[in-house]
Amino acid sequence: MENETRLHTARLELRPLPAAAARALPADRETSARLLGAELSAQWPHSDLLDVLPLQGASTLETAPYGVWVLIERGSRTVVGDAGFVGPPGEDEAIEIGYSVVPDRRGRGYATEAVSALVAWALEQPGVRAVVASCAADNTPSVRLLERLGFRRTGVEAEQLRWRIEVVVPEPRRPF
């Protein structure tokens, strides 16, 4: 796609899930794979993503980056998970991130690579000053990931730990 946003990490290519590919899922995996130029893991998309697919299917080239991104393993050209945002930033200039890696690729650091790249991308976007996240208190891998990336715990909401990382704005220099 023209002007499509893509991010690359050491082992992953991240890109917004194209609207046409989202509309094809979950029924037409062949079309979705062709549109993505990647194989789809048998374990993807996971059930939590199914409710979001219609929203992503209605996205435009401009709005798609504020939704679902696919994690494509560069070595195998296979979709191994997804990450992304729950819409564009709000009035509070925060954007919420979520992520998931298929079970047979967990424990390899893919979530860390993807979230790190997406947080960096998000904090460079106009109107974004913070990225927030949530996870269950007993989800030790997610807790460790968020801590490792510099998120700070901000509280508990609906039995989920809430996290936040903000743009660091240097103090203005004082004239001598």
Evaluate whether residue 137 is within a structural domain.
Answer: yes
- With 80 as the cut, is the pLDDT of residue 56 above it? yes
Residues in the chain: 176
Residue 150: which domain range?
7-166
CATH number of domain containing 91: 3.40.630.30
Q: What is the mean predicted confidence (pLDDT) over 101-124? A: 97
- Could you give the number of structural domains in the chain? 1
Q: Where are the beta strands (DSSP E) in 4-159?
A: 7-8, 12-16, 39-40, 68-73, 78-85, 94-101, 130-135, 152-157
- What average pLDDT score do residues 136-157 get? 97
pLDDT of residue 176: 62
pTM here?
Answer: 0.92
Residue 120 covered by a domain:
yes
Note whether residue 175 is domain-resident. no
What pLDDT was estimated at residue 145? 97
- Is residue 45 included in any domain, yes or no? yes
Is residue 52 in some structural domain?
yes
**Residue 140 scores a pLDDT above 70:** yes
Sign, CA dihedral 10-111-98-157, equals negative
Query: What is the per-residue pLDDT for 169?
Result: 63
- The stretch 50-69 carries a mean pLDDT of 95
In a domain, 174, yes or no: no
Residue 19 covered by a domain: yes
Whether residue 92 is contained in a domain is answered as yes
